Amino acid sequence: MSVIRAVAQGCGHHLPSRVVENAEFAETLDTTDEWIRSRTGIERRHFAADGELTSDLAIKAAKAALANAGMDASELDAIVLATSTPDETFPSTATKVQHALGMGGGFAFDIQAVCAGFVFALANANALVLSGQAKCVMVIGAETFSRIMDWTDRGTCVLFGDGAGALILRAEDGTGTAQDRGILSTDLNSDGAHHDILYVDGGVSSTQSTGVLRMEGKEVFRHAVSKLAETGHTALSRAGLTGDDIDWLVPHQANLRIIQSTAKKIDLPMEKVILTVQDHGNTSAASIPLALSSGVASGQIKTGDLLLMEAIGGGLAWGAAALRW
């Protein structure tokens, strides 16, 4: 049976030039490199410079993805950009990227599902392709979480970083089997009952201010360990696949211990996991496309490999996608 698939054409990423090592936090906070490394796997992260915006990172990642795909921006029909740290309340950061790329047409919009944002954006881009509304879609995850940190809270400010990653999908004919290249399945979930364990304490209609991130880390950790394995299994089974079929797990990079426990639950050795948490920290919606682009650039991810991506974040919102590269 012939079907349409949203197939990866190329990807790219961009990280701000400023690198902050764990030791830098120990100068102002009651923390140590040892604590951060052993509890999270994080060794360093990148922070945007003053005046460097989420759109600046997104535009550079988008240009890198176009170069990697050998494509021109005029070939794009749409941009779906996942972020919780937009340049402005409106318009969308995606429209700034659209203009900067010189797309000349099409449409662009933002998606907000915090750390699960890239998976949600991917699922929406896939739906645009499958419904025929767009043939070629750029999916971007871009964040400047350094702008919403409470620098006195050692339980959160050491965890996050800034960056952006982009992936280009284009409609191609498939056979309808799990051997097809492209997005094979997605699974999206949210549960607003868990609002209080991860949120930003400000916003347009509540405080007319930006606010800072608040998290009950242990509680989020507990949900992450169970929900990530569950959504991964659901996405795989929707595509008629099992854990044995995975070539690479490309997980949200929040905490090495969460990634290890998810890999264990789906019986996957850590050699099959793309890891960037040590160098990027948690970059929210940017973390999966950053890991994906790093894995492709390093030659680990090859054409035909089956990738499972999964993420969880504020909402709570969580989900997974199976994609054959």
Task: Return residues touching ligand UT7 (CB under 6 A).
Answer: 31, 35-36, 39-40, 115, 154-155, 158, 217-218, 220-221, 224, 254-255, 258, 282, 312-313
Smallest separation (angstroms) from ligand UT7 to the CB of 154: 4
Choice among 22, 68, 255, 282 that is catalytic: 282
For the bound state, the minimum distance from the C-beta of residue 40 to ligand UT7, rounded and expressed in Å, comes to: 5
Active site includes 255? no
* Three-point CA angle 235, 92, 187, nearest 5°: 5
3-state SS class at 127:
helix
- Which one is catalytic: 11, 115, 136, 157? 115
Q: Which is nearer to ligand UT7, 4 or 149 (CB)?
A: 149
Q: Considering just the CA atoms, what is the radius of gyration of the chain in Å?
A: 18
Task: Write out the two tokens for 226.
Answer: 């169970």
Q: Could you confirm whether 252 is annotated as catalytic?
A: yes
Q: Cβ 210 to ligand UT7, closest distance in Å?
A: 18
Active site residue 189: no
Helix (H) or strand (E) holding 322: strand 317-324
Q: How far separated are the first and last CA of the chain, in Å rounded?
A: 21
Residue nearest to ligand UT7 (CB): 217
Q: Give the pairing of strands 306-313 and 248-251.
A: parallel
Q: What amino acid is encoded at 123 in this protein? A: A
Cα→Cα distances 61→95, 272, 300, Å: 15, 25, 20
Nearer to ligand UT7, 62 or 224 (CB): 224
Catalytic residue among 14, 233, 252, 280: 252
| Rounded least distance, CB 263 to ligand UT7, Å | 15
Indicate which residues carry an active-site annotation.
115, 252, 282
